Structure 1
């Protein structure tokens, strides 16, 4: 992926205020950049890495501050690409309490927190979601020891239940970050 495209996206995220938004990992922008770096380190494909860089654009179930409006998806897709935007929207839309326990199930239900709709995402989408979630949570656990102590054991249980969805590098990072 071209370095200038990443730099342009980082500038865009900064222009939306990501560098001024407090986050458990410093600023939101710093966290987004680290998630992108983790996914790159793990060998994720370009669209997933871009989704990692922009995963909180619409806010999330765990971090409601949004940089942009989910009603303006086409404009954001023009910036990051259709596939990456689709991953960002899917990630942002997750009702975690409902969806997390079922993600590893072959026909597990997934609830959209924006619409309330329940779907049964295909395996590739569930794998992407698990990988992005692992990168997001592991970044926070690496930079915030208090949150690691508080949430690490639960995340280890969750990611262990998702083991078959995670890439080998992501699973290795789970094991080294959440002992």
Structure 2
């Protein structure tokens, strides 16, 4: 583990992630699996750190925040500015308003904290797609009922986002979400 990763894990522990129940064990276990999978996909260190810390401000699907937004500088001091900005971007996503157009060049991303809408860069949209995929795939691996309930809709979403996903992420999407015997037609 790099120094920043160790410090991030310590901060997560300090804010209760190690004792917080989450599919597949605890929130900290989930976050570390997300970081590890991003590493396996070849993600750069900043995205790996963002994956480890993606729940710090809560998300549109996980309301519990470990830190309030007025303390963003504390997380940035541990993981760096770029990684913290990715954490904020991920946490700020209004999924209902943003998911459908994320793969479009003129995507309209809605920040659920500010209410503002803007078109993020392709690089930012790629990072977001990778982080969303790894997060949801970890949940699908950890919880069969989650996979049964959401697997088909996640597969549709990630198929739409295919231009934003790395080959490694796409291979994992197919491996986790495509029912056996149905692999044909998804390249």
TM over 0.5: yes
SS of structure 1 residue aligned to 2:18: coil
User: Are 1:31 and 2:30 counterparts?
Assistant: yes
Deviation of residue 5 (structure 1)?
Answer: 3.0
Match of 2:181 in 1: none
Gaps of 5+ in 2: 179-187
Deviation of residue 108 (structure 1)?
Answer: 1.1
Q: Distance in 2 between matches of 1:24 and 1:95?
A: 22
Give the TM-score, by structure 2 length.
Answer: 0.93
Larger Rg: 2
Match of 1:106 in 2: 105
Over 2 Å off, 4+ runs: 2-5
Match of 2:136 in 1: 137
Match of 1:8 in 2: 7
Deviation of residue 20 (structure 1)?
Answer: 1.4
After TM superposition, the structure 1 stretch with the greater mean CA deviation from structure 2, 67-76 or 79-88, is 67-76
Deviation of residue 24 (structure 1)?
Answer: 2.4
Q: Distance in 1 between matches of 2:107 and 2:24?
A: 31
Deviation of residue 7 (structure 1)?
Answer: 2.2
- Summarize the alignment of residues 1-179 of structure 1 with structure 2, pairs less than 5 Å apart: 2-179=1-178
Instruction: State the superposition RMSD in angstroms.
Output: 0.9
Give the TM-score, by structure 1 length.
Answer: 0.97
Gaps of 5+ in 1: none
Q: Distance in 2 between matches of 1:163 and 1:59?
A: 26
SS of structure 1 residue aligned to 2:129: helix
Say whether the 8 Å CA contact 2:7–2:78 is kept in structure 1. no
Q: Distance in 1 between matches of 2:75 and 2:22?
A: 22
Q: Distance in 2 between matches of 1:14 and 1:74?
A: 18
Aligned residues: 178
